[in-house]
Amino acid sequence: MKITPEMMARRWFLQRCGIGLGAMAASNLLHQELLANTNGDSNPNPLAPKKPHFEPKVKRVIYMFQAGAPSQLELFDHKQELVARNGQLPPASLLEGYRAAFIDPKSGLLAGKFPFKKWGQSGMELSEVLPHLGEVADDICLIRSMQTEAVNHAPAQIMMNTGSQQFGRPSLGAWSLYGLGSESENLPGFVVLTSAKGTSGGASNYGAGFLPTMYGGVPLRSKGDPVLYLSNPPGIDSQTQRESLDAIRRLNEASLQSLGDPQIAARIQSYEMAYRLQTSAPELMELTDESPETLAMYGIKDPKEANYARNCLLARRLVERGVRFVQLFHEAWDQHGNLKADVKKNALDTDQASAALVKDLKQRGLLKDTLVIWGGEFGRTPMVQGGDDGRDHHNRCFSLWLAGGGLKTGYTHGKTDDFGFNVVDQPVHVHDLNATLLHLLGLDHLKLTYRFQGRDYRLTDVHGNLVKDILA
């Protein structure tokens, strides 16, 4: 058989070309060849779906990152002792070698601001400001014994998301995409949604680090173009756009004929995919096909209003469309002062929609193979900051919750001491959490490596132990 440039280009394209938005066109031959080629690890298209290391519990992830560090003592980890000793100094023994960020650690203890309640069959103890989460308490797994090294926001956010305080490492989402590829036809495999304000860690929180850029998170934006530069320039309508792209395609095809460079074939595909994205992204952002009941469940009053609740619903729509990793960022939780009012407000902004996402996924049968994570970058001190209404950064313990396939439900993991200062049982380091998250995706954190600068890097660096106790 004689190999023509087109055949060569197509083969090359299938083998080697990553185009950032997952698998290829639905409408052409490439697509079928691709699908025929997705069942083994040998497919070298970097974004083609890949087999995990072992049978996964979940296929996709929604990570609701609560930036600024939510106070575990107001939300998840009630301490009667703090109520009893409100205003007293913490025992000196606790403070040996301890460094807080802002305050002199020799500051008075501060009672939690809210009563806690037992929820569900499991009797999980949660703050009264989280009534909606309480309703799904039997579906979640709460970890009260999280630990990290960092005590400043930017390094700690980077630590949670990339496993290192140093910038330049790939994020969890990027590693997931690298390990598993993308199953989405028309959308990026790793999507980022932001509410409140920009995060301390910035774009590095969801970056590709040293991995090829195609693995990085693509922000979907609530205002303006959902994907940057999605709209045609003023004055150009969709027909002119189509005619322009036809011309581009025809001219590029002619170049491909004469030059034979398969990158030209990839370029043709990229432009076609861009065209499809011009339809699929706005369609995704449009909530008109959601029922009033669904909108009400998330607490969405105006479907056009950009906020956390809308992002939660968008997250569900994204995973429904095959997106591998969705990450929400909500930077609002840094309560050095105004603790009571602001935690309450943040809870109002996030509790209902976070819980609704769990319910919604469950009722659609998606929860069993989706992983949901809710948490921030560190915890807050049992000691007061300022007068009597603030808490400083605390890295010795914090809480977060998970839901979805492969996890115990209605289960509380780990224990902190009476002051909510140290972990006394079942500590979970960031690296342990990340190892476990990858495990649920069917990836062995020791084997998911990328050779960079002569070293096989891992998300968990040289650390990380599976938290077996939270696995079902």
DSSP-derived letter for residue 197 is B
Among residues 39, 232, 279, 338, the one that binds another protein under rule CB under 8 A? 232
Among residues 148, 200, 350, 409, the one that binds another protein under rule CB under 8 A? 200
In whole angstroms, the minimum distance from the beta carbon of 128 to another protein comes to 30
**Cβ distance to another protein smaller for residue 67 or 82:** 67
Among residues 27, 93, 239, 288, the one that binds another protein under rule CB under 8 A? 239
**Cβ distance to another protein smaller for residue 284 or 402:** 284
* Distance separating alpha carbons of residues 472 and 465, to the nearest angstrom: 17
Among residues 86, 122, 244, 294, the one that binds another protein under rule CB under 8 A? 244
Binding positions for another protein, 71-100, rule CB under 8 A: 99
Binding positions for another protein, 15-34, rule CB under 8 A: 15-21
In whole angstroms, the minimum distance from the beta carbon of 453 to another protein comes to 4
If one asks whether residue 38 binds another protein (CB under 8 A), the answer comes out as no
**Cβ distance to another protein smaller for residue 92 or 229:** 229
Binding positions for another protein, 424-453, rule CB under 8 A: 450-451, 453
**Residue 341 neighbours by CB under 8 Å, 6+ apart:** none
If one asks whether residue 236 binds another protein (CB under 8 A), the answer comes out as yes
In whole angstroms, the minimum distance from the beta carbon of 185 to another protein comes to 12
If one asks whether residue 147 binds another protein (CB under 8 A), the answer comes out as no
Angle (deg, nearest 10), helices 262-285 and 238-259: 160
| Sign (positive or negative) of CA dihedral 32, 18, 168, 41 | positive
Q: Which stretch binds another protein (CB under 8 A): 212-220, 320-328, 417-425, 426-434?
A: 212-220
| Sign (positive or negative) of CA dihedral 419, 422, 428, 430 | positive
If one asks whether residue 199 binds another protein (CB under 8 A), the answer comes out as yes
Binding positions for another protein, 250-309, rule CB under 8 A: 250-252, 254-255, 258-264, 266-268, 270-271, 273-274, 277-278
In whole angstroms, the minimum distance from the beta carbon of 234 to another protein comes to 5
In whole angstroms, the minimum distance from the beta carbon of 112 to another protein comes to 21
